[in-house]
Structure 1
Amino acid sequence: MVNESSIEYATALFEVALESKNVHNYFHQIIMVNELLEQEEDYLRLLEHPKIEKAKKTEMIGNVFKEAIQKEILHFLYILVDHNRIRNLNEIVIELTKLVNDYHKVLDVDAYTTVELDKKQRQTLTSKLEQKYKRKIMIENHIDSSIIGGMRLVIGEQIIDNSLRTHFAKLRSVLK
């Protein structure tokens, strides 16, 4: 379950990005920061450590990111540190991604198949989903041999399961 404060922080950052007409840059910069912090677990632990003063943590962030990101993103990180929320950055990025995708009318789709979709299959699926949802579709193809055949799509909270595994399970329950 998503922490409610992560949604609030993501919304606040998104609103600042909209006001400054800088959604694309802010979004990519916060993703970069998040990826770096995920890779540097020890650094993240230092930023969370209760015995290190917040001023020192702010200084640490400034030393690492000051030249690499815009000042608004830097100040956002300072706020996260000040409110002991730096550990929530990944959740915030997930929520921010939803807001940015909605803003750009992009819909992320996870397609689970037994083999990688080829270019034509991907284009056909994308086209059909774009017609249905009236949004730009971004497909992430995941290989899952447990579905036996067919496809399972996860679109937000919606699951469209047209896998052989599900068909066999339904058939099994009917035959019982």
Structure 2
Amino acid sequence: MAKLVSKVYGDALFEAAMERDMLSPVYEEVQSLQTILMENADLVQFLNHPQIIKEEKLKVVENIFKGRVSDDLMGFLETVIEKGRQKELPKILDYFVNRVKEYKKIGIVTVTSAVELSAEQKAHTEAKLLETTAFVSLEVTYSVDPAILGGLVIRIGDRVVDSSIRTRLGEIRRDLMKLQLA
């Protein structure tokens, strides 16, 4: 159910932003709003509190955001609260951000290596990924995991390209286990 709620509201915000040709500004505002919600647990707790009436929640949201965000986003926040869906707000915003990234062909990539990659290696990896995918730009997160021994593990969405030495050794071991000596 929560996934359906985030999709319905996220799609509505996306479509409204597209209709008004305000996708980029709304996207930036939503990212800022996500940061605010992550940094202010008290605000989230207040919005999610079942004993606080909607009118109070609306007043607080209006006091905090009115004049600081676009009227479109303000109206969206008010609608979410009026419909009692404020608990789903982080998921709605995540869905919207992912939908915009998909629309703008921005790839979200995680690259894991055994050792820290140099700037040149990172640039080469990103260039190869842009060359071999339909993405226009990438948001890459690099991490180091010595357990992979060498090579790279690249995750793009739900796809994984694992060229690590650990995986290759595992494949060789499985192949050797299949062999039967006569």
| TM above 0.5 | yes
Post-superposition Cα deviations, 1:132-170, rounded to whole Å, max 9, x if no partner, equal 113223122122233222111111111111112211222
Q: How does 1:28-67 map to 2 (within 5 A)?
A: 28-67=28-67
Question: Shift of residue 41 of structure 1?
Answer: 1.1
Cα distance in 2 for residues equivalent to 1:114 and 1:80: 44
Report which of the two structures shows the higher radius of gyration computed on alpha carbons: 2
Q: Which runs of 5+ in 1 are unaligned?
A: none
Bigger mean CA offset, 64-73 vs 89-98: 89-98
Cα distance in 2 for residues equivalent to 1:126 and 1:56: 48
The percentage of counterpart residues that share the same residue type is 27
Q: Which stretches of structure 1, 4 residues or more, deviate above 4 A after TM superposition?
A: none
The two structures, once aligned, show a CA RMSD in angstroms of 1.8
Measured at CA, do residues 137 and 118 of structure 1 come closer, stay the same or move farther in structure 2, by a change above 3 Å? farther
- Secondary structure in 2 aligned to 1:3? helix
Query: Which residue matches 2:155?
Result: 154
CA contact (8 A) 2:113 2:151 kept: yes
Query: Which residue matches 2:17?
Result: 17
Cα distance in 1 for residues equivalent to 2:124 and 2:134: 15
Question: Shift of residue 57 of structure 1?
Answer: 0.2
Bigger mean CA offset, 85-94 vs 53-62: 85-94
Question: Shift of residue 2 of structure 1?
Answer: 6.6
Query: Which residue matches 2:176?
Result: 175
Cα distance in 2 for residues equivalent to 1:63 and 1:101: 30
Cα distance in 1 for residues equivalent to 2:118 and 2:85: 41
Cα distance in 1 for residues equivalent to 2:154 and 2:100: 21
Cα distance in 1 for residues equivalent to 2:146 and 2:8: 38
TM-score w.r.t. length of structure 1: 0.91
**Aligned letter for 1:8?**
V
TM-score w.r.t. length of structure 2: 0.88
Measured at CA, do residues 168 and 97 of structure 1 come closer, stay the same or move farther in structure 2, by a change above 3 Å? same
